[in-house]
Structures are given as structure tokens and as C-alpha cells.
Structure 1
Amino acid sequence: MADFSKVEKALKERGYTVKVFATGAEAAAYLDGEIDGATVGIGGCATAQELGLYELLEKHNTVIWHWKQEGADVRKKAMTTDFYITSANALAESGEIVNIDGVGNRLAGTLFGHRKVYFIIGRNKLTADYESAVHRARNVASPRRAQQLGAKTPCAEKADRCYDCRAAGRICRGMTTLWGPMMGSEAEVILIDEEHGL
């Protein structure tokens, strides 16, 4: 059992609502009950896929996710939804949420335009401090994702660290650190005592 007490306290002090669940299934059931009759955008998020959130939520919401729908404008439509669901590449015990992105929609979705943003985060994303969160995002999560996508980058080929390359297929082109919910938007962090995502 992970000890989320320190990060939960830090997140609440920063202005987040926090919920802790033992399993991903419990977290998914919670979100299914919380979001109803609304528009929902989902960022590139392996955790959401593992929890089957699209299939659950689409039964009684309008869900927009470029992993499930085709079209050049799907990512843009997800930017205008009531709610946005994503994860994090890393979460520091001190409360900073770190994400890296290639296209930018996932970062943008956490910054502006939604009534509420949900971050669903497995225990494997938790790090001791901000510096180790940045390190995890750059040197663990990003190379794994690049390898998963078959990117032609040094990190994907070696799967060991970020090389700060200039490859055309580079998928890490921007990074955000959230020190708290953005003004005018609610944000909730859902912590899961299981490993989910990269």
C-alpha cells in the first residue's frame, strides 16, 4: 500500500481536490458517477485507456478523444469540453504535476478552457521531489512512450534516457509544471494505489 499522505496534504494545500482509491476500477466507477450529461475531453492518456474510461463515460456523456475518433479537429474539440481527463508523467510528493507533450493538446487541456480537470495518477508516477519528477518525466515516461510509438529517436532506440535530440520524430517538445489549479478552473487529483500508465 502506497503512502499518499504527504502528497495528498501537499496537493490540498495547493488548492486541488484529492481522492484516493485502492484500485483503478474504483477510480473509474467514481468518475463514472461524477460526470454525467456533459462533454468530456481526454488527453493522450494510457491510464484512461487502462481504466476503460471512454467506454464507461460515453454511455451518458459526449466524450471526445483522439485515440478513439478520427479527424484533424478531434484534439481541438476536446479543448472546448466541460471536463478534461488526463494523467501526469510525474507527480512530486511536494505537489508539482509535471507533463511532457509533443503536439501540445494534452498540456493545453490542463491549462485553460475547462470547468474542471481530472488528473488520474497511479502510484508509479509518484516521486520524492520536484527535481525527481522532472527527471522521471524526461528520462522514464518520455522514452517509454517514444519506444511504444516506434519513434525514430535515440531515447526510443535505447529506452534509457532523454538525449535532448533534434530528431523529426521527437515527441517531447514541451513541458509544463503545475504548481496549482489554474485560475478559473477546478482541478482534482485522483490517486490510485496501483501502477497505471507509463
Structure 2
Amino acid sequence: MDYGKLKKNFEDHRFLTSYFETREEAAAYLKEKIRGEKVGFGGSMTCQEMGLYELLKENNQVVWHWKDEMTAAEARRAAMDSTVYILSANGVSETGELVNIDGTGNRAAASLFGPERVFYVIGRNKIAPDLHSTIARAKNTACTKNARRLGVKTPCAASEELRCYDCNSPARICSATVILERPCNGMTVELVFINEDLGY
């Protein structure tokens, strides 16, 4: 991971950045930065692998449709009303763009409007050289692996080949692609880079 290049290009695009060698260091940093807030989570294997829900629940009101007691639909709506939102990205370009592809749209929506602060937790495996290869990484790696994890009936989940078929299946989990070039107005967005492979 060339953090120097990532830092320059993303900070030139008005994002904040931080860097950690391990997930434990990044998690401790977030625990210190986020206290007394309502925290919403987007669906994220990276967040799960870091144990962020349990860690941040100690000092905050935390909402996540993967773990909350309310229904998934209720939790998704409640998370959008958070002061802080935490998610990862399906792909991150060294040139300074974030790519996320959503099926339901809650993660994309909350990352663009509502919360005052947004934190992206990003493992080194999410990074690609440019926007074109970042979109390809999101479609062919992240989305395909998520479809297999969820057990949906799509060509990418059924195939041994790791690639997107641009299907029209009702079970498709790729309905909206968001390319974030700058933080949306009224939000502070920080990218927390971690020098480990995390999530898909």
C-alpha cells in the first residue's frame, strides 16, 4: 500500500485520511474518536472482522442491520439517522475515488446524506490503480464474493469463475453504483487505511 500516494490524492479531494498497520490499531483509533454518538453501520465484512460493532457499543448507541434486535428494514432506516456512519468500500482508487455497489441502497444513501461524520475502513486489498480498475474490482471481486456469501441465485454466485455477468436476476445484489469523488456537502469523510487484507 502506497499510503503517501493515497493520502495526497484523497486529501487533495478534501477527504481526511489516517493510516494503521493493523486492524487493532485502527479499531482503537475509532473507539477514541467516536464517543457519545449514534453510530450506524453499512453492511461490511471489514467492520465485522475488526469487531467494530462490539467495540463502539461500549460508548455509543450503535445500529447495524446485521446485528440489531429490530428488523433489518427498521435498522437500516435507523442507521441513516445516525450522527456517525461507518462502512467500507468495494473499491478504492489510488487516484482518489471510492466505489460502492449496493442492492438495497441503504449503505450508499447514508454515505452521501444524513450523518455528520462518515468513516470508511479500508484494507489494502480494496485498492486499485485507477477508477476503471477500481470499478472492475468492485464488480468482479467484492460483489461476486458477497453474492456467494449471501447464497443468492445469481450467475456470479453459481459460477466457479470470479466475475460479474451483469445479470438481470431478481436476486441481483448490484443495483446502484456510487462513485464518490469528493465528500458531499455538510459531511466530514475520513478514510481509515489499514495495511491488512480485510473484507471483500
C-alpha separation in 2, matches of 1:148 and 1:64: 22
Measure how far apart 1:168 and its partner are: 1.1
Deviation at 1:64, TM superposition (A): 0.3
- How far the C-alpha of 1:31 sits from its partner, in A, is 0.3
- 1:99-148 deviation digits (Å, cap 9, x = unpaired): 00100001001100011100000000000000000000111110110011
Tell me, which stretches of 5 or more residues in structure 1 are unaligned?
Answer: none
Helix, strand or coil at the partner of 1:84:
strand
Counting aligned pairs with the same residue, the percent is: 46
1:171 to 2:170 alignment = no
User: What do the CA deviations read for 1:16-59 (whole angstroms, capped 9, x no partner)?
Assistant: 11000000000000000000011000000111100000101101
Distance in 2 separating the partners of 1:122 and 1:82: 24
3-state SS in 2 of match to 1:63: strand
2:13 counterpart of 1:14: yes
Structure 2: tracts of 5 or more residues without a match: none
> What CA deviation, in whole Å up to 9, does each residue of 1:44-77 have, x standing for no partner?
0111100000101101100000000131311000
Partner of 1:126: 127
Q: Are positions 1:150 and 2:158 aligned together?
A: no
Equivalents in 2 of 1:146, 1:4: separation in Å?
30
- Give the counterpart letter for 2:51 in structure 1: G
Residue 83 of structure 1 is matched in structure 2 by 84
Q: Give the aligned partner of residue 65 of structure 1.
A: 64
Aligned residues, how many?
A: 197
2:134 match: secondary structure: helix
Match of 2:39 in 1: 40
Deviations 1:141-195 (A, max 9, x none): 1011001111100011114211111111101111100001001110000000000
Distance 1:32 1:51 in 2: 12
CA–CA separation in structure 2 for the residues paired with 1:21 and 1:39: 24
Are 2:137 and 1:136 aligned?
Answer: yes
Stretch moving more, 157-166 or 104-113: 157-166
**C-alpha distance in structure 1 between counterparts of 2:58 and 2:3, whole Å:** 32
SS at 1:73's partner residue? helix
Q: Matches of 1:197 and 1:123 in 2, distance apart?
A: 10
Other structure's SS at 2:112 match: coil
Q: d(CA) in 1 for partners of 2:158 and 2:97?
A: 29
Aligned pairs (5 A) from 1:107-118: 107-118=108-119
* TM-score normalized by the length of structure 1: 0.98
SS at match of 1:110: helix
Q: Which amino acid aligns with 1:33?
A: E
1:26 alignment counterpart: 25
